[in-house]
Chain A
Amino acid sequence: MTSADHAPARRDDGEPPPPFPTLRKAEAYRIRFRRARRFVVAGKEASFEEATAVDVHTEGELPAMGVGLALFIGNAVLVESERLEKNRYRFYAPPGLAWKSGAALSLGLAGSGLPTPVSRSTLKLAPIDEREAPRPE
């Protein structure tokens, strides 16, 4: 016998969503992890001591939800990321993921279906200084 559900009434937020974040600044560099970081590459789990990081500054943030931000650099898509602080994210590209120098940047969504660009920018990513040693995490 079913008992009545006693869920308390909750506020239903019918307000429009916050605007999607836009890119203000981006910097790419090589990074060395304290402990090897795992990625999934071609469907297989792989751990790497080093990778390429792209730190971005945004105007606005994406709320914490199932999907998340993706960074498009030309045809390359970076979906592994961390939120460093308000309006600042770090994206990671595993070894082997590359892009053309000067490729255009945009932010989009990942985590549901194919990653899709949402807010395009005129920013271009400066090439990584290969003479610079990988920065520690």
Chain B
Amino acid sequence: MTQVPVKKLKLEETRPLSPPLLDEPLYQCASAVTVLGFVPQAKLDVQVGGVTVIADAPGGFPQPQGATLTLPAPLVAGEQVRARQKFGGITSGWSPVVTVRDHTKDFPAGPPRPQIDPAPVLECGARTGVANLLVGCNVWITADAVEVGRVGGAAAHQGVNVTPDYGLAQVVRAQADLCGDKSPLSQAHTTVMGPNPLPAPAFDPAYDDGEQIRITGLANGARFELSRNGTSLGTWRTWGQAHLVGISPPLVDGDHLSVTQRLCPGDPESPPGDTTVLPCSALPAPEVAPIEGGADRVTITQMAPGATIKVYLNLVKVGEGGGPVVLLSQTVKLGDTVHVLQKLGGCVGQFAQEIRVACVAPPVAGNPAGLDLFPVGNLEYDGGTVNVGGATLNVRGSVYYPAEDDGQGTAWHERLARLGPVPIVFMAHGNHSPSDPSYLGYDYFQIALARMGMAAVSVDCNQLNGSAAGSGNIIDRADLINASIAHFIALAAADPIFGGHIDFSRVGLMGHSRGGEAVVISPGRASLPGGVSIKSVLALAPTDWGATSGPPSGYDFMTLLPAADGDVRDNDGAKYYDRCLPVTYKSQLYVHQANHNFFNREWLNNDNNGSLPTLPRWRHEQTLLAYGCALFRHSLLGHGTRGHLSGHQRPAGVLTDQVHLSFKQNKAITVDDHEDGNTIHTNSLNGATTQSGLAADEHGFSQFAANSFNGSFFGDSEGMVAVPKKKNGTFRSPLVTPKPISLLGREIWIRAADVFEGSVAAATTGFELGLERSNGTVKWVDSDDVGGVPLPFDRGGATKTMPKTLRFKVACFGLNRVELRRVRAIQLRLNRSKARPLAFDDLQIV
């Protein structure tokens, strides 16, 4: 992605205005819809069931939340809704249709739980933001159980003015309803004093001809006064953090803007925040998310407030809208060049963002940890004692569960109970000082699982900490986990809170460090009670004390390997991943800059002692939450979150460029996994391979293989290392199948890694993957177009060669349907001018 001067581009303007988008999903009884992505000041039309129900509604500004428009009648399930925009005499096409759903199908236990956002709630606050709402619902806020504000027909994140302003130490909660179906109460927030005086707010850069400004640093619920060139423009209430204000007439280069804020009437105003409007020449190019071939839209990740975005495909305009998503008049394909620029009124940015369309650039699709439906109850449990390995150990720990309200020992959520028992996840910490209550360190993960409708237990294994080591210690941990499972089976039989509410046919396990090794063997232990079905296991930085034998099997598996692990430095989970024979799939996350300890809130020290670049603690938790919830939601609740594990989607808010995924599913055609013992000259389909201009051979990708390529491999599989000898050396793997396979709609997956040979190079390398047609010609796609081969994470002499899965969409190769039925081989080509050895494994058609 590069910024290019617009004057160097011969851009062709076309009339079309992009259709806007409707915020979805839409549900029955919604009394409003939210329209997104229109150009500032456009007029909006909305149709329901083919009938225009809103005409020429002023849209205002699309940032930050679109325009929420009140409907003349509530929506009915099955109705089809669409919107369009009008501006400058041009009418756009209609948005994609959204079909109205029944919320009780998606949320049978009631609408999601509102979230007061941002928190905390401050004394004298006059406005509160409420998030996690269904569009068009009604939302209200109470302070000490008295309603103080309400909005009908809400946006997904709605501001609610409150009257009177909050007092001190009031308990504030939000609630919503749709079709008279009430959500749970939000978490209770007790109002606290805000800073006095408040700090000065600030401005995002503002530009000539702009009609909207963004103010930041605002206190939750404050009132702020905005002035332009010394003249007050008015006072607004804000829910806090940031606020966008429309300005008329448009800004002029050199205008001086000033803002102050205040909470309580007697408080002094904050110091002023100031800015001077910048000239048009300062307007930068917008920032744009990577674009994947086949996309019909672009997503803007940073733009000036109130800007109009224009998108050009191969220099011809194909989209114009208000962002952040702009629909295009045609889909893009690999290799297309897209230019995106922004304008404010008559001020057109002098630079455009130039993006080359990739084959694979997974879109951001929510965050699997964000499902918030239920209040969370919690308890410490005590299941007495159990004999483990000759020692008497306590069966105890903590449990979080979906409840009627937050708190210790609160009743199980009644509506959820009527739907049937729910899955349960058991977590087990590893070895640490026995004086630290390690089992408390995953509460953030337990809470996330509980609020989406699962019970989450953290087993106290402290009696096994600090003293013993060895495989016996791991076995003991596994048996202690199983003893907690047995305890909860007993509770589920008759307990006042848990009785009848846990489904032991849907159990997940998560273990960290020695706990990570324990959960790999726990499902196979005789101590596992009967009737328990372990669906998925997450081994977080697991050790290898030799307690496992044979491949992990019988469950779907994930391992999270911190590349900066200063404790379990060999990332032994890579061996479990390679050996694993899953029921459906297995997943490996190799997380650059993650250490061993920061996933547990009770483990305070950085285990690599600062010797390696390390992400802050909250990033560790965020990563475990996103991918761990994706695993358990998919395997235990049947939610569609598997795409985050396979790399088809990226979770919002996570540093996904640091997370290197490997993923393998059973439903695939394996072209070569090098495990057949039939030498490099024959692939897994029994086809004869050939190579030219490189030296490729099979090697053990492990520390102990006799035929390892070098000492930088830490898994346990056989793979291929291709060493370049001449430019464009190729390796050919024929597709020999009883019947021709059509590759239409499929993907080619391959694990690939830059082989570490003593030092980490300055720049990345890569390769091309080619599909050979029946006439012998080959169409190539570069690895850079599917995300690229990352540099190894630099640990000096201990740097690892760690493969990750690259997905090549067959559509990127440009073959027609007939050709796709006659692909006769897959080729790899080391095409870099300074090619280096690359490791490959698990070449599959998916």
Contacts and interface: CB of A to CB of B under 8 A. Distances in A.
B605 to A, nearest CB: 4
Contacts of A36: 390
A15 B605 CA distance: 9
Given A7-B601, A38-B389, A114-B703, A64 B466 contact: yes
A1 B157 contact: yes
Interface of A: 1-5, 7, 10-17, 33-40, 43-45, 63-69, 79-83, 92, 110-114
Contacts of A17: 609
Given A3-B117, A112-B543, A66 B468 contact: no
A68 to B, nearest CB: 3
Interface of B: 115, 117-118, 131-132, 156-157, 366-367, 369-370, 372, 389-390, 430-434, 444, 465-472, 475, 513-514, 541, 543-547, 549-550, 567-570, 572, 596, 601, 604-607, 609-610, 614, 617-618, 621-622, 625, 652-653, 703-704, 714
Nearest to A83: B467
Given A7-B618, A66-B543, A40 B434 contact: no
Contacts of B157: 1
A79 B467 contact: no
Contacts of B430: 66
Contacts of B468: 81-83
Given A1-B132, A81-B469, A12 B444 contact: no
A117 B537 CA distance: 32
Contacts of A67: 543, 567-569
The 5 closest A-B pairs by CB, nearest first: A68-B469, A80-B470, A35-B390, A113-B570, A14-B610
A16 B661 CA distance: 32
Contact of A12 (B469, B546, B610): B610
Contacts of A5: 444, 618, 621-622, 625
Contacts of B572: 112-113
A38 B596 CA distance: 28
Contacts, number: 148
Listed residue (B132, B389, B470, B570) with the most chain A CB atoms within 10 angstroms of its CB: B470
Listed residue (A36, A64, A111, A113) with the most chain B CB atoms within 10 angstroms of its CB: A111
Given A7-B618, A13-B606, A66 B433 contact: no
Nearest to B470: A80
B568 A112 contact: yes
B466 A114 contact: no
Contacts of B367: 2
Contacts of A3: 115, 117, 131-132, 370, 372
Contacts of A111: 469, 514, 543-545, 568
A14 B609 contact: yes
Contacts of A43: 546, 549-550
Contacts of B567: 65-67, 112
Nearest to B116: A3
A113 B569 contact: yes
B606 A45 contact: no
A64 B466 CA distance: 5
B390 A40 contact: no
Nearest to B620: A7
A114 B569 CA distance: 11
Contacts of B550: 43
A36 to B, nearest CB: 7
Contacts of A69: 469
Contacts of A39: 470-472
Nearest to A89: B469
A17 B609 CA distance: 7
Chain B, interface SS category: loop
A11 B603 CA distance: 10
B569 A37 contact: no
Contact of A110 (B366, B370, B434, B545): B545
Contact of B604 (A13, A14, A110, A114): A13
5 contacts: A44-B549, A64-B431, A65-B607, A66-B543, A83-B468
B609 A15 contact: yes
Nearest to B571: A112
Contacts of B431: 64-66, 68
Contacts of B545: 79, 110-111
Given A13-B606, A39-B470, A111-B544, 7 more contacts: A3-B115, A5-B444, A13-B609, A40-B475, A65-B607, A80-B470, A81-B470
B369 A2 contact: yes
A90 to B, nearest CB: 10
Contacts of B606: 12-14
Nearest to B608: A17
Contact of B470 (A1, A7, A79, A112): A79
A66 B568 contact: yes
Contacts of B117: 3-4
Contacts of B366: 2
Nearest to B609: A17
Contacts of A10: 601, 604, 617
A112 B562 CA distance: 13
Contacts of B434: 64
Contact of B433 (A2, A44, A64): A64
Listed residue (A3, A35, A45) with the most chain B CB atoms within 10 angstroms of its CB: A3
Nearest to B604: A10
Listed residue (B389, B390, B475) with the most chain A CB atoms within 10 angstroms of its CB: B390
A40 B469 contact: no
B548 to A, nearest CB: 8
A110 B469 contact: yes
Contacts of B156: 1
A6 B422 CA distance: 27
Contacts of B568: 66-67, 111-112
Contacts of A64: 431-434, 465-466
B472 A37 contact: yes
Contacts of A81: 468-470
A66 B571 CA distance: 11
B643 to A, nearest CB: 17
B798 to A, nearest CB: 10
B480 to A, nearest CB: 14
Contacts of B652: 2
Contacts of A40: 471-472, 475, 546-547, 549
Listed residue (A2, A79, A80) with the most chain B CB atoms within 10 angstroms of its CB: A2
Contacts of A33: 390
A53 to B, nearest CB: 13
B546 A66 contact: no
Contacts of A1: 115, 131-132, 156-157, 370, 372
A66 B431 CA distance: 5
A55 to B, nearest CB: 14
Contacts of B714: 113
A66 B610 CA distance: 18
Contact of B605 (A13, A38, A83, A110): A13
Contacts of B601: 7, 10
Nearest to B117: A3
A39 to B, nearest CB: 6
B97 to A, nearest CB: 24
B390 A66 contact: no
B569 A112 contact: yes
B467 A82 contact: yes
Contacts of A2: 366-367, 369-370, 652-653
Nearest to B465: A64
A13 B595 CA distance: 12
Listed residue (A4, A36, A66) with the most chain B CB atoms within 10 angstroms of its CB: A66
Contact of A79 (B131, B389, B390, B546): B546
Nearest to B566: A17
Nearest to B605: A13
B795 to A, nearest CB: 13
Contacts of A66: 430-431, 513-514, 541, 543, 567-568, 596
Given A80-B472, A81-B468, A110-B545, A11 B609 contact: no
B704 A114 contact: yes
A38 B475 contact: yes
